[in-house]
A and B are shown apart, each in its own frame.
Chain A
Amino acid sequence: MSSSSSLTSLLPTAARGLVSSCRSALRPGPGPLASVVSTVSTFQQTRWSSKASFKRVKSQGYKSKKDKPKVKGSKKGNKEFKQHNLKDMEQFALCDAMRYIRAFEVGRQPTVSKYELHIRLKTKRDGPVIRNLLRLPHSISTESRIAVICPPGSKQEKEARDAGAVLVGEQEVFDAVKGGNIPFDRCIAHPDSLEALSKAGLGRFLGPRGLMPSAKTGTVVEDVASRVEMLRGGTTYRERAAVIRLPIGQLGFSPEQLRDNMRIALEQIKKDAVAMNDRIVKEIYEVVLSSTNGPGFSLNGEFKSDNTPDTTGMHGP
């Protein structure tokens, strides 16, 4: 309180109004403050408005802000993501987590609600990230519409059509996109069409949606047809802030189906981590099972625990 009253003594008479506009919590009492303000004469007003006093007020006002960047700096100095001690976390067997999640998701469409897997990695803040495609043994069957950009009349065009792409060709795709009509949510290009693609200048339309084909994301490929099939049945995933999140199953899946999917996904992610540069070490730190409407359950790697009930009926709605 003493600091605030010394501040108010710095104020000119005109500040009286705004002092009263503040909450009473700031004021020790109406008596002493009013007297302080009224003793400031007009002469003092001009004196206090000199640069020196302004600086003083300023320095007091910004003191807290000046401290902040320092704290931030020390945080940024941390090269690795913070790892919490998992001893503090309650962990669940897969079937127990599923039992809870199915309770949280009761009444939802079993094909609409999805199980999600969140994989926390032990990794550095900078450096390359894991991103790849994955085909799960039990398909999550999210309807994805795929466009393929390849030379018209080529062998790839026919194959892509057979694989189930909705929009195939060069000029057709470009016209559709430029017309503001994007009837697909994935886009693949054949290397032969790359030149035409860059000439068409689609980056402005596709870029913000993350649909622009590029070799980096694995959407510029020779074998267009197999990639289309892969995309239709599979999922893409990438690491963001040391976590890989991906859908892993429909709510109607049985524990065995979910276990198979998880096994494949984790194996592939481990392979991705190993396949990176020698100097980059990534390890799986924590695996969390969540769902569309449910909370996240940290898994302990077990399939069943002692108090898991019979799991034969744990599928369907």
Chain B
Amino acid sequence: MVNIFKRMRKLKTLLNVRVGTGAAVFPAAPSATQEFPAITRLHLTYARKIYGGHQGARHFWRNCLPRLKYHNPGIPMTVRQTEDQDGPAALSVYFAQQTSPIAASLAAEDLKDAHAPAPAAHEQVAVLDVRNLPYTEIWNKVKNMTGATEIPATAAETAELRKLDQMAAKSKVDRARIAAKRQAKKDQERMLQEAREQVARLKQL
């Protein structure tokens, strides 16, 4: 098994799942209001390659969905990657009972997401067209239409983030330093090798 310190260092990435864009809690059944009903499910569909405006959707999956999943462990979130580059990049948000009033204005009415699961009897779907949108904008739209409450990083977490940044900067410097050292050693070894060959050649003469 890998050395314990390496594993600990890797686990520092957990911080990225807890804080950042998309670290927010959706309204659940107890905290739901008329304006912002509870969210029951999310589904994202986009194409495999990024051209045609599918990049933002993929980034949303990579960056925001893990955080959303961490803070809302009970909400099913599914992603479907299609081969259809001209097809839609759509984010379906499933509301309990009815969609929020803001969602109705933001949602694309004519957009049909064939890959999204059919809503249950008590669910209503608002489909966002996320083509050609950067993931931060997608997140802003989602936040506005669902009324999600963002979870700010605690003081300890910001301190740790800063420490990780410092470590990253330090490792960049260290990498350059070690690379120079290794190169110098390699150069010396090669020089000696060439010299040895030279000597051998002269001996043959």
Contact = CB atoms under 8 A, between A and B. Distances in A.
Interface of A: 4, 7-8, 10-12, 14-15, 18-19, 22-23, 25-26, 45-46, 48-49, 53-54, 57-58, 60-61, 84-86, 88-90, 99-100, 102-104, 106-108, 118, 120, 241-243, 286, 288, 295-298, 309-314, 316-317
Contact of B199 (A23, A49, A88, A118): A49
Nearest to A108: B79
B198 interface: yes
A45 B11 CA distance: 59
Contact of B183 (A23, A57, A89, A104): A23
Interface of B is mostly: helix
Q: Top 4 A-B pairs ranked by shortest CB distance?
A: A313-B74, A107-B79, A103-B70, A84-B4
Contacts of A310: 74
B184 A26 contact: yes
24 contacts: A7-B192, A11-B195, A12-B198, A23-B187, A25-B183, A25-B187, A26-B184, A54-B199, A54-B203, A60-B192, A61-B193, A84-B3, A89-B4, A90-B11, A103-B66, A104-B17, A104-B66, A106-B69, A118-B1, A295-B10, A295-B14, A298-B7, A309-B73, A317-B76
B16 to A, nearest CB: 10
Contacts of B158: none
Given A57-B192, A317-B76, A103 B17 contact: yes
Interface in B51-71: 61, 65-70
A4 to B, nearest CB: 6
Interface of B: 1, 3-5, 7-8, 10-11, 13-14, 17, 44, 61, 65-70, 73-79, 180, 183-184, 187-196, 198-200, 202-203
Contacts of B61: 106-107
A8 B198 CA distance: 13
A141 B67 CA distance: 30
B35 to A, nearest CB: 23
Contacts of A4: 188
